[in-house]
Amino acid sequence: MVDAARSEVLSLIGLDPIRSYVAEEVVRGPLVRQGNVLGERIELWTDRGDVVPCLFLRPIDDVHQVGAVVAVHQHAGNYALGKSELAGLEGDPQMAFAVELAESGLPTLVPDLLGFEERQRDAIDPQLAENRDAEDLLAGGSTLQGVHTRDIAMATSWLEARDDVRGPLGIIGHSLGGQVGLFNLACDPRLRAGVLSCGIGTLESFEREGISHNPAWFVPELRKAGDVHLVVQAIENQRVLVVAGQDDPLFPFQDVQGLVSSFREGVADFVPFEGGHAFPAVQRRHAISWLKSRLTEARSTP
């Protein structure tokens, strides 16, 4: 049942088997120290000739490393920011959780998603460019969600292949990052644990409440196939922490609760908080501690 759900999700978003997504070439930049963290620019080149720029953050002292993480940035309608916000170089300090992860001892890779920061397609109207990309991909039999998932899978493959990354792999994201994290957990069993902050909901709730979302959410035939409940059902032998604001205007709370109850038994932990579309310090600290604990547990679990 899980394999069938995973295969169906992959088919709906237009992807091949997830392990097939590996960088054809990797270009690495110099190390830069940022407090107790070392930062490095990584370029992952695809077989299609495009590049996924990333920042790789790791603790200076990684003797007690328990795993590594892919961190996925938010949307927020700000296409100028991607990986740099999570790395604490620009933007909202609340979003600098990649630095916090590295400071806690977890090496963290942060890519730019298509359309953001170094991957902006149209500086004059990046929102129009995002919509155009989504439409062009649909016309070619693919999806924008598929591209996001593919690029994160390629980042996961790079981490998996590194000799200096020890332990299991996880993922964390807020908003768009949580959405992408959900699909990658569903498609990629190499990700043993994931934190999804204010980033999951149902297509039915978006339509019912008249909520506009980024175009990657709207995968053809997904609602007919079971809505996002299908996606969560593809996750097994992985752990998921769902963080949700009870007053989040983008993700109706009752529907988030319904999705959490759709996870298979023993997969999901749920941390609701009083607030809106945010990732406050208390919830971030809990999420990082939770992620370290789950990756430590995964080291001894096949």
Q: What is the mean pLDDT of the chain?
A: 95
Q: What is the pLDDT of residue 63?
A: 65
119-153: pLDDT as tens digits: 998 778 999 999 999 999 999 999 999 999 999 99
- Kindly state the tokens that stand for 257: 């609760």
Distance CA 90, CA 279 (A): 17
Q: Rounded to the nearest 5°, which phi and psi values hold at 201? A: -165, -175
261-292: pLDDT as tens digits: 999 999 999 999 999 999 999 999 999 999 99
For 240-257, what is the mean pLDDT?
98
Burial 32-69 (b: 16+ CB within 10 A, else e): eeeeebbbeebebebeeeebbbbbbbbbeebeebbbbb
Q: What is the pTM of this model?
A: 0.97
Task: List the alpha helices (DSSP H) in 55-119.
Answer: 83-86, 97-103
- Looking from the CA of 14 toward its CB, the CA atoms found within 13 Å total 18
Helix (H) or strand (E) holding 15: none
- The answer on pLDDT for 61 being more than 70 is yes
For 247-264, what is the mean pLDDT?
98
Task: List the alpha helices (DSSP H) in 73-202.
Answer: 83-86, 97-103, 126-139, 144-161, 176-187
Question: In terms of C-beta density within 10 A (0-12 exposed, 13-18 middle, 19 or more buried), how is residue 89 classed?
Answer: middle
181-236: pLDDT as tens digits: 999 999 999 999 999 999 999 999 999 999 999 999 999 999 999 999 999 999 99
